[in-house]
Amino acid sequence: EFEVELRSSGRVVRVPASLSVVDALAAEGVDIPVSCAQGVCGTCLTRVLRGEVEHRDLYLTPEEQAANDQFLPCCSRARSARLMLDL
């Protein structure tokens, strides 16, 4: 379990272990476009402004993952207690 913070509004949304970031945000009325929902297509790519990502996608290169400035919220999660997203 971790939290995501939305840059534009400062809202903080809790992401329980049972939900993806996309699903946790959708439950709060924040919709991120999704296609494959499996970390393959890149449709849900979102910029990360703060916090450490746990990448679980197959889309970003290892170098892009290591840069820690974007992630695929349909499948990837957080290592840190909170991620700030450019949403």
When binding is defined by CB under 6 A, the residue of 72, 78, 85, 87 that contacts ligand FES is 72
Q: Quick check: 19 binds ligand FES (CB under 6 A)?
A: no
The helix (run of H) or strand (run of E) holding residue 21 is: helix 21-26
Distance CA 63, CA 48 (A): 15
Q: Quick check: 21 binds ligand FES (CB under 6 A)?
A: no
Q: What are phi and psi of 67, to 5 degrees?
A: -65, -25
Q: Quick check: 51 binds ligand FES (CB under 6 A)?
A: no
Nearer to ligand FES, 10 or 20 (CB): 20
